[in-house]
Structure 1
Amino acid sequence: MSSSTPVPPSPSVLLNTGVHMPLLGLGTYKLCGTDAVYQAVDAALDAGYRSFDSASVYRNEADLGRALKELLPKYGLSREDVFITSKLGPKDQGVNAMDGALHSLSQLDLGYIDLYLIHWPGTQGLDVADQRNPGNRAQSWVAMEELHTKGKLKAIGVSNYTPGHMKELMQSCKVPPALLQVEFHPRLCQTELRKVCVEHGVCFQAYSSLGRGELANDPVVTEVAQRYGRTPAQVLLRWAVQQDVPVLPKSSQSDRIKQNAEIFDFILSEGDMDKLTELDCGQRFCWDPSEVI
């Protein structure tokens, strides 16, 4: 067991599959190398993280699976105690979706994946305006539905979908998406997307909560952080989870990983929540999926 005081797992949200998913997860984008992944997972488990987010394009699924298998016993945990997310790469969109998903299952080697997402609405090698994109998305979803029915993918969902992409999926799917993961922070509040998710019972999850670090220097964010005696990152993450939006902060530094988990022992006032939300200006720090047909 870890020598430090046990940390209670973070609060969770209920997915439409009837499964609870932690509000806090460790993002692993750009977390590469066996040692780096192992150290980050160790620090995260120690800090109370029970959710880990990967993707085929991150090229760290195998390292993540190995690290978890080695570290779970150290914390008295089993496979069922953690929630693992991975994603279908744009190169596998369409006809290669089944192979792509099976490859992720093989790389992680954890028996099943708790949540598997279509990473991007487009297809690698095709123009954003290519008329084959909608058909490829639909084909990917059918493959994921099949693996969901077999219990290999406990929940399925999408990432970087627009309201239009979401509505298209809702009209054709047999298994509704459990979750939509998109860029979300005070400067990009995604109001329309959140309404679509509420309407269809889809969990709305945030990535890039810190705006690739830039929002940590926003004067409004720093002013709120100083008032609560918290870091700007903690305030930005708290702003999301206080709206029941799950977050996936990423870091390779153990102290930062621990800090990012300390967001459930304070509450932002309604005024401060509004002040942060008023920063909304539609600014993206990541890719824009709105042009993908």
Structure 2
Amino acid sequence: MSSSSSPSVLLNTGVQMPLLGLGTYKLVGPEDVYQAVDAALAEGYRSFDSAAVYRNEADLGRVLKELLPKHGLTREDVFITSKLGPKDQGEGAMEGALHSLAQLDLGYIDLYLIHWPGTQGRVVTDQRNPGNRAESWAALEKLHAQGKLKAIGVSNYTPAHMRELIQSCKIPPALLQVEFHPRLCQTELRKVCEEYEVCFQAYSSLGKGELVTDPVVLEVSKNCERTPAQVLLRWAVQQGVPVLPKSSNPDRIKDNARLFDFTLSDTDMDRLSALDCEHKYCWDPSEVV
């Protein structure tokens, strides 16, 4: 990805990744994808996050090829993330990753993640899970060496999963993407990522929408004259944590991009962080062997 004025974070591959990306979960169908990506590009988004299980990789790839010239951009100006489906964990990983590459049809994927530490169709306590993860990672390492996946990483890994990977891998993960918001500060995971120079990235920054009505969030947003969503996203990026707010609404996409022209006070940051109660709104990987 070429350098741009978009605030970014340096991955351990030496590549800059935008702090703000558009999450595309639940964006289904070419019309919805087109509207969201068009609005996002107009507002300065240069990062787009997909996954095999989102079933929108093909639409995202087609839409980007159509829209990049409209916005005066090239493939190198955007950062594309996708993820290996849990059904392809293990022996299906190479085929699954190649399918993502074919669906997006953008030449390469900037960042490709193992979406889940378990394997679809197997119980979380299945003792084959560690071997499947290792097999998946080996496949991603091969595609990384070929230049098809510019960076590789993981999603929904626990500290134990991260340490297991780092101790056995040839190529260290560039990024860990997990649920992160004021009610789930992920202190231990962030320390592990810092120790091994792995970028820590947030998803579900709004707690599936529940956090925008939290009294503390509402008070902070009123005081700084920003929306609750902007406050929650700013709380993350002010800590250097990239975010992936998802929306199909052009107005909301525009609002979510307004993160870099204000700063939360230390007091407000501390008040928000004090909401931490280790509450997960999304899938919980803690029991996956």
Shorter-chain TM-score: what band?
Answer: over 0.9
Q: Which residue of 1 aligns with 2:227?
A: 231
In 2, distance between residues paired with 1:9 and 1:273? 25
Partner SS, residue 286 of structure 2: helix
Residues 118-145 of structure 1: per-residue CA shift (max 9 Å, x gap) = 0000000100000000000000000000
Residues 10-62 of structure 1: per-residue CA shift (max 9 Å, x gap) = 30000000000000000000110110000000000000000000000000000
5+ residue gaps in structure 2? none
| TM-score normalised to structure 1 length | 0.97
Q: CA deviation at 1:152?
A: 0.1
Partner SS, residue 289 of structure 1: coil
Residues 76-105 of structure 1: per-residue CA shift (max 9 Å, x gap) = 100000000000000000000000000000
Counterpart code for 2:94 = M
Q: CA contact under 8 A between 1:9 and 1:48: conserved in structure 2?
A: no
Pairing 1:36–2:42 present: no
Q: Which residue of 1 aligns with 2:279?
A: 283
In 2, distance between residues paired with 1:16 and 1:151? 16
Matches within 5 A, 1:156-235: 156-235=152-231
In 1, distance between residues paired with 2:266 and 2:225? 17
Q: CA contact under 8 A between 1:148 and 1:154: conserved in structure 2?
A: yes
Partner SS, residue 290 of structure 1: coil
Counterpart code for 1:19 = V
Partner SS, residue 279 of structure 1: coil
In 1, distance between residues paired with 2:260 and 2:212? 19
In 1, distance between residues paired with 2:6 and 2:77? 12
Q: Which residue of 1 aligns with 2:57?
A: 61
Report runs of 4+ in structure 1 exceeding 2 Å deviation: none
Matches within 5 A, 1:39-188: 39-188=35-184
Q: Which residue of 2 aligns with 1:267?
A: 263
Q: CA contact under 8 A between 1:210 and 1:216: conserved in structure 2?
A: yes
Q: Which residue of 2 aligns with 1:5?
A: none
| TM-score normalised to structure 2 length | 0.98
In 2, distance between residues paired with 1:178 and 1:193? 14
- Measured on the aligned residues, the alpha-carbon RMSD in Å equals 0.6
In 2, distance between residues paired with 1:224 and 1:151? 44
Q: CA contact under 8 A between 1:10 and 1:264: conserved in structure 2?
A: no
In 2, distance between residues paired with 1:80 and 1:240? 26
In 1, distance between residues paired with 2:70 and 2:5? 16
In 2, distance between residues paired with 1:9 and 1:152? 26
In 1, distance between residues paired with 2:254 and 2:47? 14
Counterpart code for 1:117 = L
Q: CA deviation at 1:9?
A: 4.5
Q: Which residue of 2 aligns with 1:240?
A: 236
Count of residues paired in the alignment: 286
Residues 189-222 of structure 1: per-residue CA shift (max 9 Å, x gap) = 0000000000000000000000000000000000
Q: CA contact under 8 A between 1:9 and 1:50: conserved in structure 2?
A: no
Residues 197-248 of structure 1: per-residue CA shift (max 9 Å, x gap) = 0000000000000000000000000000001110000000000000000000
Q: Which residue of 2 aligns with 1:3?
A: none
Residues 60-85 of structure 1: per-residue CA shift (max 9 Å, x gap) = 00000001000000111000000000
Q: CA contact under 8 A between 1:162 and 1:290: conserved in structure 2?
A: yes
Counterpart code for 2:78 = V
5+ residue gaps in structure 1? 1-7
